[in-house]
A and B are shown apart, each in its own frame.
Chain A
C-alpha cells in the first residue's frame, strides 16, 4: 500500500484537478460569452479572481460562530478527498482500494451540508433560504444518483471506481448500450443540480430570491470566499471527470509510463472540453426552472436511472 510513486502520482492528480478546475469554469464562461455575441473574459480569469481574493481582507459577521470558520475547510477538504478518489489520469491507484462511488457521493454531501450550516450561521434570511433550497435539492437528487451508480455498479459488479472504469474498457460495446446512455443522462442531470448550473440554479444571478448556491456564500469574503468558490469549481470538475471517465474511460492510463500519462492528459482535456461545451450550450438554451419544477427534472433523472438498471437486467 505504500507505493511511493503511485501515491505521488495520485497527489499530483489531485493537484492537477485543483489546477484545472478554474480553467474548466473559465472555459464554460468564455463559451457562454461567445454565444452571447460578446468577447467575454479570458479562460484564465478565474485564476485572477482566486489570486485577488486570497490577498483581500476578510469581513466576518458578528453573528458567525466557529461553524462559519470551519465550513470552508470542510468543504474544500472533502472536495479534495473526492478528487483523490476519482480517476483523472490513471485508473488503478493506491487510493483506488477505497475509491468507492457511494463514498464520493456522500463526501460531496458532507460539503453541501456544511455549506448549508454556514448559510444559517450568520442569521441572514438569504443564507437560510439558500440553505433550505440547497438541502431540498440535495435530498431529492440522492435517489437519482443512487440509481445511476447502481446501474454502473451492476455492469461492473462493484461500486469501486477503478473496477467500473476497468470493466467498461474491457467491453467497449457496453458504452453504447441504452442502459449506459440513460445512466449518463441521469448523471448529467444530477451534475447540473448538484453543482448549481442552469436549469436548476443560475451561477451568475444577482437576484437573491433566485439564488441557491450563491445565497449561502453571500457572507463569505476574502480567502474564505476563494476557498468556497474553488471548491465549487472543483466539484464541477469532479462530476465532469465522473461523467467522462466512468462512461468513456478510453484514454485513461493503466500504468505510470510517461507516454501513457501524456495520452491520458490529452484525452482528459478533450473530454473536459466536450462536457464544458455541453454545459455551456445547455445553459444558453434553457431558462432557469422554477424551484418547484426542479423535483420534476430530478424525477426524470430517477426514472432514467431506474430504466438503466432495468435494461442492464434485461440484457443479461
Chain B
C-alpha cells in the first residue's frame, strides 16, 4: 500500500475529532453529547486503523504545514511506528470510552454545559493524536499544551465540587511545571539550530552535544514527562485530578494520557538522544521501583474507589518505567537484544494497562452513576444489583492483579523475563540492582492482587453497606457497551500477545541504537524470549484452565447426588445478619497497613468519652485514623507553605497607594535606562 493512502486516514482522524468538538455549536445538550460520541468514535476508528496500517509496515505519514505559524517555523507531522503504537492505544481506548461517555453524561446536561464539554473532548482527543505524530518541537509543544489545557477543563467539569476545582488547580500547576522543564530540555537540545527544530535535525545534532548537556536534557525530560506520566514524587496531581474528573475522562487520562509521558520520554531519551550512560537506566529503574511500590501501597489503603484506581495507575506507570530503565541500562551495557526485550515489555504493559485500567475506571463510573458513592466502605452487594458492571470490573481487576490467563499477567511475565539477563550479568552492581528490581516487581504484583481483591470484593460482594448501594440500578446500554468492549479486550489482548509484540518489536526496531527488527518472536501462540529458553503461552493456559474447570464441573455433576438448600450465612447461630457485620475496606487492608506502618506513618486518634461521674462506664468511643502520604508531608506541604509565605511577602508590594506605584515605575525606568546606556 503506498504511503499516500495513509494521509486521508490521518485527516479523517482529525476530522472526526473536529466533528466531536463541533458539538459546541449544537442546539441542545443531547445533540451535543451525540455529536461528541459519534465524532470521537469516527476519529478514533480512523486513528486506530491508521496506526495498525503503519505498524503493519504500510509506511509512515508525513505532513508538513510550513505556512501555519510560519514565523515560528511551521507545523509538521510525522507518524512513525513508535508513535503508531501510542496512536493505536489512543484510538482503541477512545472508541469504548466515547460510547460509554454518551450514556454517562446523560445527567450532566442540567448542571453543566455539554457544549463546552464537546469542545473540550474534541480538543483533548485531537491534541493527544497530534502529540504522537508531531515532527518538530513547535508542533509537539503546542499539542502538549493544548492537551494539558483541554484535559484540565475536562477535569473541572463538575465545577460545583470543591475537590474537582482543587484537583484541577494541582493538575494545572504541575503540568505547567512540567512544561517549563520540557521547554528547557528542548532548548538545550536544539539550541544551536534555526527554525522550528524538526526532530530529524535534533536527532542528527544530538550526537554533537556534550555529555553534560545530554545529561541535563535527560533529567529535564524526565522531570517534565515524568510528571505527566506520574512518577513519584511529581505524581501528586494524579490522585487528585483523576478521581475528580468525570469517569470516562478519568479513563482516558489514566489509560492514555499518562502514557504520552512515556512516549515523550522514549522519543527524547531513546530516539533523539539515542540512549546514554548507565546511570540513566539505574535512575529510571530506581524511580520506577519507588513509584510502583508507592503507588500500590497507597492504593491498598485507599477507601475511595477512584483514588485507589489513580494510585494504581501510578503503580503501573512505575512498572513501565522499570522496564524502560532496564532497557536503557542494557543499551548502555551494549546488550541490544536484552534492551529490545525490556522496551518491548514496557510497551506491552502500556497497551495492556490501557485496556484494563480503562475498564476499571468505566466500572467505577458506573458504580458512581448507580449509587452516587465513591467510598468503598459504603458500597457492597452490587454483584447482584449491577451484574454487568460487576462482571466487567472483575475482568479488569483480575487483569490488573496480573493473574493468568489475562493480559496483565502476560506483560508482568515479560517484564520478569526481561530482567533475567541483567541478573545474570557479570557486573555486580547491575546484578544487584536488577535482583532488587525483580523483588520490587514481585512485591508490587502481590500487593496489587490484594488491592484489587479488596476493591472488587468489598465494593461488589456480600451485602450493601448503605441505602444508596441497596438501591443501585444497572447502567444503560451505552455504558454497558463501553465496559463490555474493554472487558473483552483484556483476554483478547492476552490471546493476541504474539502479534501485538511483533508490532511493538517492529516499532522499536532501529530506534535509538536498538537493532532493527531485533526481537524474534515466533508468530503463533507461544511466547518465546530470544535469549533464554523461557516459553509461555497465554492461549494454552487459557484453554487448559477452561478445559480443567469445565471438566471438573461435569465430573461433579456426575458424582455428586446431593441437593442444594439456601440458608443464612453461618454466624455462630446469631439471629439476623446486617451489613455492619461485614468486613470493611479499612479492615481488609489493616494487616498490610500495620506491616508497612513505618512507610505509612498513620496518625491514630482515639477519643474515649466516659459517663459523667463514672470512669468505668463509657459513653462513646471515637476512632479516627488518617494517612498523610510522606511525599506530601515532606515535599509538597513545605513547598506550598513556602510559596504562600513568599507570595504574601511579595503582596506587600501591592500596597494600593498610587504614589508607591508611581515610584515603582520610575525605578524600573531608571534601571532600564541605565542598562541601555551601559551597553
Contact = CB atoms under 8 A, between A and B. Distances in A.
Interface of A: 54-63, 65-67, 73-74, 76-78, 80-81, 84, 95, 97-98, 100, 102-103, 106-107, 109-110, 113, 116-117, 120-125, 127-129, 131-133, 135-136, 138-143, 145-147, 150, 153-154, 157-160, 163, 218-219, 222-223, 227, 291-292, 295, 302, 306, 309-310, 313, 316
Contacts of B14: none
Nearest to B582: A123
The 3 tightest CB contacts between A and B, nearest first, are A128-B583, A142-B446, A146-B442
Contacts of B384: 65
Contacts of B438: 146-147, 150
Interface string B5-44: 0000000000000000000000000000000000000000
A138 B532 CA distance: 28
B453 A135 contact: yes
A81 B439 contact: no
B404 A143 contact: no
Interface string B654-671: 000000000000000000
B462 A123 contact: yes
B439 A302 contact: yes
Contacts of A65: 383-384, 461
Nearest to A292: B594
B562 A227 contact: no
B536 to A, nearest CB: 5
Contacts of A138: 446, 449-450
Interface in B569-587: 569-571, 577, 579, 581-583, 587
A123 B581 contact: yes
B417 interface: yes
B450 A54 contact: no
B560 interface: yes
A153 B536 contact: no
Nearest to B589: A132
B551 to A, nearest CB: 8
Given A102-B413, A222-B560, A131 B449 contact: no
22 contacts: A57-B563, A58-B563, A59-B565, A61-B569, A62-B566, A62-B567, A67-B461, A76-B552, A98-B541, A109-B446, A110-B404, A116-B453, A120-B583, A131-B453, A139-B443, A146-B439, A146-B442, A147-B435, A147-B439, A158-B534, A291-B591, A313-B423
Interface residues of B, number: 83
Contacts of A122: 462, 569
A105 B416 CA distance: 13
Contact of A58 (B420, B534, B562): B562
Contact of B591 (A73, A116, A292): A292
B582 A113 contact: no
Interface in B447-467: 447, 449-450, 453-454, 456-458, 461-463
Contacts of A74: 549
A44 B349 CA distance: 47
B565 A123 contact: no
B413 to A, nearest CB: 5
A109 B417 CA distance: 19
Contact of B535 (A77, A98, A113, A154): A98
B544 interface: yes
A145 B581 contact: no
Given A77-B546, A128-B583, 4 more contacts: A61-B566, A128-B588, A132-B588, A150-B423
Contacts of A157: 424, 532-533
Contacts of B559: 54, 223
Contacts of B423: 150, 154, 309, 313
A142 B447 CA distance: 9
Contacts of A56: 562
Which one of B398, B457, B532 has the greatest number of beta carbons of chain A within 10 Å? B457
Contacts of A147: 435, 438-439, 442
Contact of A313 (B402, B431, B453, B454): B431
Contacts of A135: 449-450, 453-454, 588
Contacts of A113: 398, 401, 403, 449, 453
B428 to A, nearest CB: 7
B420 A142 contact: no
Contacts of B549: 73-74, 76-77
Contacts of B416: 102, 146, 159
B526 interface: yes
A55 B559 CA distance: 8
A124 B457 CA distance: 12
B604 interface: no
B518 interface: no
A145 B461 CA distance: 30
Contacts of A107: 404, 541, 545
Interface string B400-427: 0111100001001100110010011010
Contact of B577 (A59, A98, A117, A123): A123
A234 to B, nearest CB: 11
Contacts of A129: 583, 587
Nearest to B465: A123
Contacts of B318: none
B626 interface: no
A76 to B, nearest CB: 5
Contacts of B591: 132-133, 136, 291-292
B439 A143 contact: yes
A81 B567 contact: no
B498 to A, nearest CB: 13
Contacts of B582: 123-125, 128
A103 B536 contact: yes
Nearest to A136: B591
Contacts of B409: 106
Contact of B544 (A61, A81, A302): A81
Interface string B586-604: 0111111011000000000
Given A62-B567, A98-B536, A106-B402, A146 B441 contact: yes
A75 to B, nearest CB: 10
Contacts of B532: 153, 157-160
B535 A160 contact: yes
B556 interface: yes
A108 to B, nearest CB: 10
B548 A81 contact: yes
Contact of B567 (A59, A116, A128, A218): A59
Contacts of A81: 541, 544-545, 548
A5 B424 CA distance: 37
A117 to B, nearest CB: 5
A139 B462 contact: no
Nearest to B529: A158
B533 A58 contact: no
Contact of B404 (A106, A128, A132, A146): A106
Given A65-B383, A142-B445, A147-B439, A100 B450 contact: no
A98 B570 contact: no
A16 B534 CA distance: 26
Which one of B384, B446, B540, B579 has the greatest number of beta carbons of chain A within 10 Å? B446
Nearest to B595: A295
B160 interface: no
Given A117-B457, A150-B438, A123 B545 contact: no
Contact of A159 (B404, B456, B534, B540): B534
B561 interface: yes
Contact of A55 (B445, B446, B562, B567): B562
A295 B402 CA distance: 22
A92 B540 CA distance: 17
B470 to A, nearest CB: 13
Nearest to A313: B431
Contacts of B636: none
Given A56-B562, A141-B446, A142-B442, A163 B424 contact: no
Contacts of A143: 439-440, 442-443, 446
B526 A66 contact: no
A162 B184 CA distance: 53
